[in-house]
Amino acid sequence: MRLGQVIGHVVSTQKNDRLTGAKLLLVQPVAADGTDAGQAVLAVDAAQAGIGERVLLVLEGRAAISALGRRGAPVDAAIVGIVDRVDAESAGAALNR
Amino acid sequence: MRLGQVIGHVVSTQKNDRLTGAKLLLVQPVAADGTDAGQAVLAVDAAQAGIGERVLLVLEGRAAISALGRRGAPVDAAIVGIVDRVDAESAGAALNR
Amino acid sequence: MRLGQVIGHVVSTQKNDRLTGAKLLLVQPVAADGTDAGQAVLAVDAAQAGIGERVLLVLEGRAAISALGRRGAPVDAAIVGIVDRVDAESAGAALNR
Amino acid sequence: MRLGQVIGHVVSTQKNDRLTGAKLLLVQPVAADGTDAGQAVLAVDAAQAGIGERVLLVLEGRAAISALGRRGAPVDAAIVGIVDRVDAESAGAALNR
Amino acid sequence: MRLGQVIGHVVSTQKNDRLTGAKLLLVQPVAADGTDAGQAVLAVDAAQAGIGERVLLVLEGRAAISALGRRGAPVDAAIVGIVDRVDAESAGAALNR
């Protein structure tokens, strides 16, 4: 999983039937300190997430289908939780303890 | 999923039988603002997409096979929808609200 | 698998049911010499790992589900072991032997 | 899928039984204009490709196994077609139409 | 698959049961000319590889499990063969023929 931040949503009328009604959110993967970490992805929302929220993001079809709960849905990314808090230190700091 | 833009198509006569008749489109992954985001991929078209259109792109075999609807097809990317509209803000902007 | 170092943990109350009780750790992939190697990921802990420990990290749903032991859990990364020791030389050094 | 160009082959006598007789080709992923795009991969040849040819490359186990037609073969990349022609424009050009 | 070079090994006592007895090698992906190509990975050895050897590396759970021959093992990378010889030319050279 990755930490992500919801930065938008996508409207698509003409799409695969198994995506009907699925909310498609644009999610920016972020590091523990909130800085961008890689390219934004489109994820189906399986956790009632809103714009600006920090989320748990899975980036694999198997996990995304489980989260969405629709067999055979053509998805490869999903939001599976809302992040309350991140407690992190840098890898370098951990090494020096 | 990723946002993509259809930038071309590929003609291949000698190919796996399960790809017969599949339309192979060249898709450039793009960011929310339309700028390039990574390398172009070849995706099977499962959404009647045309050159220049903004699309929903899945990048995994499981999802691509579901979209194409052919069991055992050797595919790992597919277009599963046409994008009508993207509403996005930058991650930084979201953080500062 | 990748070598990783546990650098934090994430608290999420509102999440997928199949993640209930799973410990979510923030893991920094590292090279053999301990330097950072890529973006930190969120992994379910299947090896009783602690902050600062060097771990074995799998980065795929199939493997992560096996490690967690919960069918259908929406996970794509897991800690599957604690590293006692890494014996490594650089690729260049190996070539020159 | 990716566009690739066959740039070599690999000889391996001591290998997994299910790879016996499989032709292992070194393939350089390329952009539509033929320039290099990422690291070369080793793919099993399921399309009678030759050195220098432009090919369709799948980069996933599920698709590669389907192409090779051997259940349980430890493969994650395969050549599934020969490219006759690529018709492409840049994403930027498409945007400006 | 990728070309790799074995550059070390990892000792882990506390690990998932299905990894018991598996040899975990540190493998540096390399280009055809032997130069480093990306981050080192930890792979289970299914080909009796030794330090310094050039190997065939699969980077996916499905393929790695097949190679290891243990259902449900939490692995995502494996060594499936020893490389005898690589015959390669640059993509550019191939294009100019």
Check A15 against B66: CB less than 8 A apart: no
CB contact under 8 A, D61 and E56: no
Q: What sign results for the dihedral spanned by CA atoms B13, B18, B23, B26?
A: negative
Instruction: Select from C15, C57, C60 the residue whose CB has the most chain A CBs within 10 Å, as the one to mutate to test that interface.
Output: C15
Average pLDDT estimate for A9-35: 96
The pLDDT > 90 percentage for chain D reads 90
CB of B91 less than 8 A from some CB of A: yes
pLDDT band at C90 (very low <50, low <70, confident <90, very high): low
Token pair listed for D40:
């070369």
**Residue E36 contacts D, CB cutoff 8 Å:** no
3-class secondary structure for B16-76? CHHHCCCCEEEEEEECCCCCECCCCEEEEECCCCCCCCEEEEECCHHHHHHHHCCCCCCCC
Beta-strand relationship, C78-82 and C41-45 = parallel
Distance CA E66, CA D72 (A): 6
**Average pLDDT for C67-93:** 88
Residues of chain D contacting B74 with CB distance shorter than 8 Å = 46, 58, 63-64, 66-67, 78, 80
Handedness of CA B3, D59, C37, C65 (dihedral sign): positive
pLDDT of res. D28: 97
Contact call for residues B88 and D81 (beta carbons, < 8 A) = no
Of C58, C88, C95, the CB nearest to E34: C95
A16 and B67: CB-CB below 8 Å? yes
DSSP-assigned beta bridge partners for residue D35: none
Q: How far is A87 from chain C (nearest CA, A)?
A: 5
D26 and E CB contact within 8 Å:
yes
Residue contact E56–D42, C-beta within 8 A: yes
CB contact under 8 A, A2 and C60: no
Judged by a CB distance cut-off of 8 A, whether residue E56 touches chain D is: yes
Judge whether A97 is closer than 8 Å to chain C, CB to CB: yes
d(CA B76, CA D12): 27
Q: Convert the pLDDT of each residue in D38-73 to its tens digit.
A: 999 999 999 999 999 999 999 999 999 999 999 999
Residues of chain E with pLDDT under 70: 90-97
The residue ranking higher by pLDDT, A90 or B20, is B20
- The SS3 call for residue D41 is strand
| Widest CA span in chain E | 54
Average pLDDT, chain C: 92
The pLDDT, as a whole number, for residue E97 is: 40
Q: Is A70 on the interface with B (CB under 8 A)?
A: no
Domains of chain A in start order, with CATH, are 2-95 (2.40.50.220)
Burial of residue C7 (number of CB atoms within 10 Å: 0-12, 13-18, 19+): buried
**% chain E with pLDDT above 70:** 92
Whether the predicted pLDDT of D94 surpasses 70: no
Q: In this predicted structure, what is the pLDDT of residue E90? A: 61
Q: Which of B15, B20, B45, B79 to mutate to test the interface with D (most CBs of D within 10 A)?
A: B15
Q: Token match 């016996």: residue?
A: D20
Tell me whether A71 touches chain C (CB under 8 Å).
no
Predicted confidence (pLDDT) at residue D27 exceeds the cutoff of 70: yes
Three-state SS annotation for chain C: CEEEEEEEEEECCCECHHHCCCCEEEEEEECCCCCECCCCEEEEECCCCCCCCEEEEECCHHHHHHHHCCCCCCCCCEEEEECCEEEECCHHHHHCC
- Given a contact cutoff of 8 angstroms between Cβ atoms, the answer to whether C78 and C67 are in contact is yes
Q: Is the pLDDT of residue C97 over 90?
A: no
Read off the pLDDT of residues A23-65 as tens digits, 9 standing for 90 and up.
999 999 999 999 999 999 999 999 999 999 999 999 999 999 9
Q: Which chain E residues are within 8 Å of C47, Cβ to Cβ?
A: 14-16
Q: Which of E97, E9, E3 is nearest to E50 (CA)?
A: E9
* ipTM of the complex, rounded to two decimals: 0.89
Residue-level pLDDT at C96: 41
* pLDDT at residue E89, as a whole number: 78
pLDDT score for D90: 61
pLDDT of B91? 47
Q: Splitting chain B (97 residues) into consecutive groups of 10 residues, what average pLDDT does each group show?
A: 97 96 97 93 97 97 94 96 91 44
Q: Does E66 touch chain D (CB under 8 A)?
A: yes
- Give the model confidence (pLDDT) of A58-77 as tens digits: 999 999 999 999 999 999 99
For chain C, list the contacting chains (3+ Cβ pairs, <8 Å): A, E
pLDDT value for A4 = 98
Does pLDDT of A94 surpass 90?
Answer: no
